[in-house]
Structure 1
Amino acid sequence: MVLPEVFSACLRAHPDRLAVSDGVTELTYSDLDVGSAALADRLRDCGRARAGARIGIYASNSPDYVLWYVAALRAGFVPFLIDAALGASELARISYDCSLNFLAYEGKSGKRVPGGGEIRLSELVTDTDPVHELLPGTEVCRFTSGSTGKPNCVEFSGAAVANAATNWVAGTGLTAEDRTLCFAGLSNGLAFNTSLLATFLAGASLHFARGLPTASAVLRRLDETGATRLVGFPALYDSLVRRGIRKLDVQLAISSGAPLSAHTKAALPGISDYYGIAETGPLTFARVPVDGLGKPLPGVRLKVGEDGVSVHSESMASRYLNAPGLFESRVDADGFYRTGDEGHLRDGELVLTGRSARTINIGGRKVDPVEVSDVLLTAADVRAAVVFEEADTNGDPVIVAVVAGESTVDLRAHCRARLPGYKVPARVHLVPEIPANSIGKPAMEAVRALAALSSGVVDGPA
């Protein structure tokens, strides 16, 4: 296995340096080395422990999260990093779909593990063979955001994970003197690729905050840590702008996962909005962004053509564990992954212009759901709108809209006045709020469930 050796070498190279902190608990590299080795021994002694045992880590960011992740690798387990924002039903689905043997999770009580956290371990009873077998080289599994349906479990080799971190260090100039303050969940690629192994490869320090990432909490932790790098989703920077912040005292502010709004870009310039996707790792970077998303990172090749943006990276995933054949269907004959994004290269920098994969095909006519949702958002008292495709009783595709607000306007009539008939939603569901996942994108599985349960459905021809 690759990652246990990589982590061991990192931890022993900088024994006295601060490795990770959340303002309450601090672990040096030596603390993390000794603590993870002891916890790895404890994991090996568990009843169903075996090489390649699957352990879900379902917790918020903390020094103990890092401890459990490193310990799982050193025990020979395969960690599955699960978004702490997921609910019980989604967790149960993942546990079954991915045949987890153990679950490390946060609890309000119970025996405290090394480092002072409250992460607890449950042994999951599995009396059957795994639903899906892992590839032999898989060392870590993460999940897509689920913004287009259920989260797909993405398998990564140890080499791919190490390459992502190595190339991020080289491509962004991360050094031992850097202090990264990370507000993105470690289960997400934004944090996983920029802040976890990359920090330790450089001998730098990684910092978290307890509680909600409010603007006040961000500013307080920036001051406490003297952070040189800030990592967060666009919503974090939006909150800072609403607070009136127009400058950040950091060398590098990093965002990804969703586009930054034009307002936030203008009000808080200098944010590095890099391009990366769950299946391929970080792809581009610009320290001082202009209009694009930067040039390819080391180990990354881009191909832009009629099929949109395709990428090949040294940090590519191997496949989806719980969606056989889907990942492979998106890889072309040259090994490039088709992202579903459209764009072009300008002076070597990637500029995205839209999504090719999001279109809805209605009778041979292409409909961009963003165009439809933008029209819905112009209606009175509409706060948010999500547009997607469903099948009608005959199995034909129709446009469905889920709208958050108290609008009393006839929303289909509102759309008919502004769009061609074939772009008007066949069904409109009015709900109090649009469910969102941990990075602020609509949680589509929950949105579809709301649509199935909600009242006030409007059906009929446009």
Structure 2
Amino acid sequence: MTNAVDLQALAAKVAAGLTGPGGPFELTVEQVLGAPIPVFRNRARSLLELLEGSRELGDRDYLVAAGRRLTFAEHYAAAGALAAALRERYGLGKGDRVGILAANAPEWVLTFWAAQRLGAIPVGYNAWWAPREIAYGLEHTAPKVVIADAKRAALLAETGTDIPVLTMDGDLPALLTEFAGGNPEATVGEDDPAIILYTSGTTGRPKGVVHTQRNMVAVSDYHRFNDAMAAGFRGLAWDGSPAGRRFLATMPLFHIASLHNLAVPRIATGDAVVFPSGSYDADSVLRLVETERVTNWAAVPTLANRLLSLDISQYDLSSLTAFSLNSAPSSPALLQRLREHFPVALQGLTTSYGCTESGTAATVATPPELAADAETVGRAVIGVSIEVRDPDGKPVLDGVEGEICVRSPYVMLGYWNDEGATAASIDADRWLRTGDFGVLRQGRLYISGRRSDLILRGGENVYPQEIENVLDEHPAVRESAVIGVAHEDLGQEVAAIVVVDAPDSLTEDELRDHVAKQLAYFKVPARWLITAEPLPRNATGKVLRRQLALGD
């Protein structure tokens, strides 16, 4: 019987053939922003090169949604038309920002690629933001135009912005017709910004993560490399031809999981992206897997957990060959339940570790590795170096806990307009300090703790200080602390301890409404403790979060 050691040896052999001299993914080391970084020698130098290559994919499906679909040829033409409209009607050019505020839709992806034709920088705003958060994002990245769905266009209006807002349902179809045949083209460098996505910051303000042309192309090549590895494992030759796969996008496009690692790479692999319509419902999504013959699905653990409430045997999931869990840690118990009730999990279940700043997964646990060791998040992926470091920044010994640091061609350029935060996160040698803690054992990574204050709610990062800042604005609140508490479905839910002079004078509903008016729904605390007792603090005045509890 083939054992784990044999599989590891086979993987090394296949990888060596692909990445060695003359291989399709030959690796070399180049100076990137002053640091030696492993890169693929035979690579595209911009996303625009990938878009141009997609013309050859013709009438294959690229973007599929309820009642409509765009082939690669149709998408190519539409991206050119939209780019022409943005340049000629709104004056967009290289380096200008194009805001995108919408739920998942083909127009989201189309806007991304149109911006690439201009050398402009798309900005993916969080579609769940409240007007206050939207206003911050607009001020921070100053887009020349924002493209939004109808629901978010109404929220944009509440901010009072004078930035032009184009609606996906109304304005875009008219512009695509008017500027049909347009196809502008810009010249960009590999380390020019290609996208800005927001991630929460420990200071309570979202930070704009900047990924470059190099980052995005490298992520796409990483996915192509994985395809070549899979072929090699089966003893097959790989030539990059489309395999006819269909990827289900249940995570938002303003996350790297759906944009960088699903929608963008498909332009290079020739596969389709399938978008569910409306809010997530396990039954409707599984019906979509049936009707669209979905082959690949990456989900957050919360969504996967909801599948287990259904009788999965009632659905035809025979097309599904790969299923992965991303964006939040997966408990061994969840992995086991999935194997027991979700057929594809028996052979296709993987998990990974990464963050917005890392661009893609830093590590991946393959199905055999995960079956043998449910605690690990796997080994470093191609091109990634991982070190676990002590508080002084020195690598620790195998098996010793420390901060996880990552270096690769996928790691972000930095934070938009925030040199201080960038310097704190990326050192002179381009090592990313993730702020997460873990252990390396014989090449496998184990996560021992996320950022000390971070709450992981259903795949969304929630930082307490942002919520505390809003709570503390309430006139009756003297101080507050927000913590994460265990939740069977979401992983964690948000809880708040609020200190007031007269606890009986303030209700949970009043506080909940106060927060909901200013922050996205997933940041609104679900559990509350209103008390007159002051928060526990150390000698320097910092709240001792580990001593906080809601009580019974």
Cα pair 1:4 1:74 within 8 Å, conserved: yes
User: For residue 222 of structure 1, what is the aligned residue in structure 2?
Assistant: 289
Aligned-pair identity (%): 24
2:63 to 20, 39, 45: 20
User: For residue 170 of structure 2, what is the aligned residue in structure 1?
Assistant: 111
Cα pair 1:59 1:105 within 8 Å, conserved: yes
User: For residue 51 of structure 2, what is the aligned residue in structure 1?
Assistant: 7
Cα pair 2:204 2:463 within 8 Å, conserved: no
**Normalised TM-score (structure 1):** 0.74
Distance 1:192 1:330, change over 3 A: same
Say whether residues 1:144 and 2:203 are aligned partners: no
Give the Cα–Cα distance (whole angstroms) in 2 for the partners of residues 386 and 76 of structure 1. 33
C-alpha displacement of 1:243: 2.5
1:146-194: CA deviation from partner (whole Å, max 9, x where unpaired): 5872210011111111111211332365863221011001110111222
Distance 1:299 1:431, change over 3 A: farther
**Normalised TM-score (structure 2):** 0.63
C-alpha displacement of 1:253: 1.2
1:259 to 329, 337, 343: 329
Give the Cα–Cα distance (whole angstroms) in 2 for the partners of residues 333 and 45 of structure 1. 40
Give the Cα–Cα distance (whole angstroms) in 2 for the partners of residues 211 and 461 of structure 1. 41
User: For residue 287 of structure 1, what is the aligned residue in structure 2?
Assistant: 366
User: For residue 120 of structure 2, what is the aligned residue in structure 1?
Assistant: 77
Distance 1:146 1:266, change over 3 A: farther
The one-letter amino acid paired with 1:77 is: A
The one-letter amino acid paired with 1:30 is: A
Give the Cα–Cα distance (whole angstroms) in 1 for the partners of residues 521 and 256 of structure 2. 14
C-alpha displacement of 1:138: 1.2
Cα pair 1:142 1:155 within 8 Å, conserved: yes
Distance 1:260 1:455, change over 3 A: closer
Say whether residues 1:238 and 2:305 are aligned partners: yes
The one-letter amino acid paired with 2:51 is: F
The one-letter amino acid paired with 1:2 is: S
Give the Cα–Cα distance (whole angstroms) in 2 for the partners of residues 116 and 184 of structure 1. 28
User: For residue 178 of structure 1, what is the aligned residue in structure 2?
Assistant: 245
Give the Cα–Cα distance (whole angstroms) in 2 for the partners of residues 81 and 92 of structure 1. 14
Distance 1:237 1:115, change over 3 A: farther
C-alpha displacement of 1:402: 6.0
1:55-88: CA deviation from partner (whole Å, max 9, x where unpaired): 1011111122211111121133210011211122
Distance 1:386 1:114, change over 3 A: closer
Give the Cα–Cα distance (whole angstroms) in 1 for the partners of residues 298 and 103 of structure 2. 15
Distance 1:51 1:285, change over 3 A: same
Runs of 4 or more above 6 Å deviation: 385-392, 433-436
Cα pair 1:184 1:232 within 8 Å, conserved: yes
2:356 to 278, 286, 295: 278
- Of 148-157 and 95-104, deviating more is 148-157
Instruction: Give the alignment's Cα RMSD to 1 decimal.
Output: 3.7
Say whether residues 1:358 and 2:455 are aligned partners: no
Cα pair 1:309 1:338 within 8 Å, conserved: yes
The one-letter amino acid paired with 2:533 is: D
Give the Cα–Cα distance (whole angstroms) in 2 for the partners of residues 333 and 146 of structure 1. 21
2:276 to 209, 232, 236: 209
User: For residue 410 of structure 1, what is the aligned residue in structure 2?
Assistant: none
Which consecutive residues of structure 2, in runs of 5 or more, have no partner in the other structure? 1-44, 152-166, 177-189, 231-241, 340-344, 391-401, 456-461, 473-478, 486-496, 537-552
Higher helix share: 2
For residues 155-194 of structure 1, what are the structure 2 equivalents within 5 Å? 155-171=210-226, 176-194=243-261
Give the Cα–Cα distance (whole angstroms) in 2 for the partners of residues 441 and 337 of structure 1. 30
Cα pair 1:152 1:320 within 8 Å, conserved: yes
Distance 1:13 1:403, change over 3 A: closer
Cα pair 1:37 1:71 within 8 Å, conserved: yes
1:76-123: CA deviation from partner (whole Å, max 9, x where unpaired): 321001121112221111001111111000127863534999xxxxxx
2:388 to 291, 298, 304: 304
Give the Cα–Cα distance (whole angstroms) in 1 for the partners of residues 73 and 418 of structure 2. 40
SS at match of 1:36: helix
